[in-house]
Amino acid sequence: MIIDAQCVGGEKTLKSGKNPNLVTHLPGQPKVGFNHYSGYVTVNEENGRALFYWFFEAATFKEKRPLVLWLNGGPGCSSVGYGATQEIGPFLVNENGAGLSFNKYSWNKEANLLFLESPVGVGFSYSNKSSDYKILGDNITAEDSYVFLQNWFAIYPQYRTHEFYITGESYAGKYVPELAELMYDKNKISSKSHYINLKGFMVGNPETHDAHDWRGQMDYAWSHAVVSDETHKIITENCDFDSDNKWDNQNCTNAVDEVFAQYDEIDMYSLYTPKCIHSNTTKHARHGGDQFKYTSNKMMRRIYDGYDPCLDDYAAVYYNRYDVQKALHVINGSHLRNWSICNNDIFNEWTESRASVLPAYIKLMEGGLRIWVYSGDTDGRVPVLSTRYSLNALQLPKIGPWRPWYHRGQASGWIQEYEGLTFATFRGAGHAVPLFKRGEALAFFSSFLSGTALPNQRQ
C-alpha cells in the first residue's frame, strides 16, 4: 500500500517546511554543516509495519547530488549499525560506544545518503503484528522497501526527481538487484508522481548465485590455506552445489563443516586481521540453510592497523542508549527498544530466497542501468572467487583487459569492464570494503556515480 498523505507513520511534513525528524542533539556527534533526519515510515497501516531510516543530506550541493539508498544484508543485519556508522556515513561509532567521530571519507561528500533498516525486525524497524516476522523473505523485503521509498518521498518530495541509486553489500547482493528490478518494473506503469529516477546499482562482496557463491567460498578457503588438500578434495568430489539435495551427501556436509570449523579460528570476514575474541555479537552466514556462528572467548581484544574487529559491540552499546534513541526519534517516552546489529531470529526463519539474481542483472543491463560490482579480496564469507564465478556465468563481452586501478599512486585492486557491467577488486579489504579502504572506496563510489573509468595509471 502506497500512502499519499501529509502524515506517514507518525511523520509530518509541515507547511512551514520544518521537519520534526531533524536530528538535533545526537550524543557525541561532531559539528557538521549539513542536516540529517531519522524516524519511521509505515509500510503497512493494517499491521503497523514500520521501517526505520536515517537520512544524511549531501555535505555540499544537496539540491544537485544524487540520492543513494544503502542496504545491509544478513538477512537480518542493520544498515545503521554497519553502513551508517562503521563504513560510509559521516559519523563513526567510537570505542565502547562512547560517542561518534567524523568520517572524512563519508559518501555524503558525493550524494544524499539514505540508510534503511529492512525488513521489520532489523534494528529499530518493527511490526505490531507478530505474524509478520514469520513471513519474511526476499520478496516481502523488496516490496516493503519499495513502499517505504514511495512514502519517504511523500515526506521529502524535493528528492523524487534526483538521480537514484541503490547500493549495499553481502546479502544485500540479493536485496539490491531485487529492489532495482521491482522499481524498474513499477516505473513502466507508474504515474509521474510515483516514478523513481532509478539510474543503477552497486553491490559489494555480494551474494549473487547460491551455487557459485558456495563453490567460490570453498575454493577460496583452500586457495588461502584455511583448509587442507584432503578437505578440499572431498568437497570437490562430493558437493554438487547446483543440486537442491546437496546437503543429503554426508561426506559433503562434513567437509563443509570442517571449513567453517577452521574459519572459527579467525575472522572469516577479514582473513588477515585479528578477530574480536571477546565479542558477544553473532556473525551471519548462509550455510546450506543452517547458521554458522562464531564462538565467544573472553580475552583481550587487539586492534590492527586502524581496524577494530569489535565495532559491532560498540554499535550495540551506542544504539541501546536512552539519549541516542531519543535523539534519533526511536522513542518518545522512557521505554527503550532493544537494538541489535543482527537479528538471529530473522536469519533462522527466513522463508524465501532467490537462488540467483543473475536474471535480474540481465534485465536491468538490457534496461540501461549502470551496474558496478566490487569485492574486497581478503573476505572469506562472499569471496572474490564467488563473485567471479557468478559474473563469468553471464558470459558478457569484455571491454579492454583485466587491469589494475589506482588511488593516490598505489594499485588499489584490479578491474574488468564488461558491456553493461563493471567489476573491481579492492586489494587487502575484507567483507565490508569501506571499513578497510575508506579513501579508495569513496573514490570508487565517485567514479560509479559519474560513470567514469577508474584510473589506469599512477597519478
Is 431 annotated as catalytic?
yes
Task: Report the amino acid identity of residue 284.
Answer: H
Residue 458 is assigned to a structural domain of this protein: no
Does residue 100 contact residue 94 with C-beta atoms inside 8 Å? yes
| Catalytic site residue from 232, 329, 407, 431 | 431
Is the pTM higher than 0.85?
yes
Residue 233 phi/psi, 5-degree rounding, is -65, -40
Same domain as 259, residue 180: no
Does residue 8 contact residue 151 with C-beta atoms inside 8 Å? yes
| pLDDT tens digit at each of 459 positions of the chain | 444 333 333 444 444 457 899 999 999 999 999 999 999 999 999 999 999 999 999 999 999 999 999 999 999 999 999 999 999 999 999 988 889 999 999 999 999 999 999 999 999 999 999 999 999 999 999 999 999 999 999 999 999 999 999 999 999 999 999 999 999 999 999 999 999 999 999 999 999 999 999 999 999 999 999 999 999 999 999 999 999 999 999 999 999 999 999 999 999 999 999 888 765 554 444 333 333 332 333 223 333 335 677 889 999 999 999 999 999 999 988 789 999 999 999 999 999 999 999 999 999 999 999 999 999 999 999 999 999 999 999 999 999 999 999 999 999 999 999 999 999 999 999 999 999 999 999 999 999 999 999 999 987
Residue 334 is assigned to a structural domain of this protein: no
The CB density around residue 261, as the number of other CB atoms within 10 Å, is: 12
Last residue of a domain, which of 204, 231, 255?
Answer: 204
Same domain as 286, residue 384: no
235: helix, strand or coil: helix
The CB density around residue 436, as the number of other CB atoms within 10 Å, is: 23
Same domain as 90, residue 239: no
Same domain as 402, residue 263: no
Same domain as 159, residue 28: yes
Same domain as 99, residue 62: yes
* pLDDT at res. 292: 33
Distances (CA, A) of 217 to 252, 282, 290: 14, 20, 16
Same domain as 177, residue 61: yes
Same domain as 253, residue 198: no
Residue 67 is assigned to a structural domain of this protein: yes
| Catalytic site residue from 308, 312, 379, 412 | 379
* pLDDT at res. 451: 96
Smallest Cα–Cα separation from 5: which of 57, 37, 45? Answer: 45
Residue 14 is assigned to a structural domain of this protein: yes
Q: Where are the beta strands (DSSP E) in 120-163?
A: none
Same domain as 270, residue 189: no
Same domain as 101, residue 226: no
Kindly state the DSSP code that residue 342 receives in the 8-state scheme.
B
Is 170 annotated as catalytic?
yes
Angle of the 210-223 helix axis to the 384-392 helix axis, nearest 10:
140
Domain containing 423 — which CATH number?
Answer: 3.40.50.11320
| Catalytic site residue from 106, 127, 170, 279 | 170
Paired with 67 in beta bridges are 112, 164
Last residue of a domain, which of 177, 204, 231?
Answer: 204
Classify the C-alpha dihedral 155-158-159-161 as positive or negative. Answer: positive
Residue 369 is assigned to a structural domain of this protein: no
End-to-end CA distance of the chain: 51
As a dihedral over the C-alpha atoms of residue 357, residue 360, residue 361, residue 365, rounded to 10 degrees, the angle is 180
Does residue 202 contact residue 448 with C-beta atoms inside 8 Å? yes
Q: Please give the angle made by the CA atoms of 109, 115 and 118, to the nearest 5 degrees.
A: 160
Residue 423: domain span: 375-450
CA atoms within 13 A on the CB side of 224: 23
Domain containing 67 — which CATH number?
Answer: 3.40.50.1820
Residue 212 grid cell: 557459485
Does residue 215 contact residue 235 with C-beta atoms inside 8 Å? no
| Total domains in the fold of the chain | 3
Residue 361 is assigned to a structural domain of this protein: no
Smallest Cα–Cα separation from 66: which of 75, 57, 79? Answer: 57
Last residue of a domain, which of 146, 177, 204?
Answer: 204
Same domain as 233, residue 138: no
Kindly state the DSSP code that residue 33 receives in the 8-state scheme.
S
Distance CA 435, CA 96 (A): 17
The residues, any chain, with a CB within 8 Å of residue 332's CB and separated by 6 or more, are none
Largest Cα–Cα distance in the chain?
A: 69
Residue 422 is assigned to a structural domain of this protein: yes
Is 386 annotated as catalytic?
no
Determine if the peptide bond prior to 27 is cis (ω within 30°): no
* pLDDT at res. 280: 55
Same domain as 260, residue 184: no
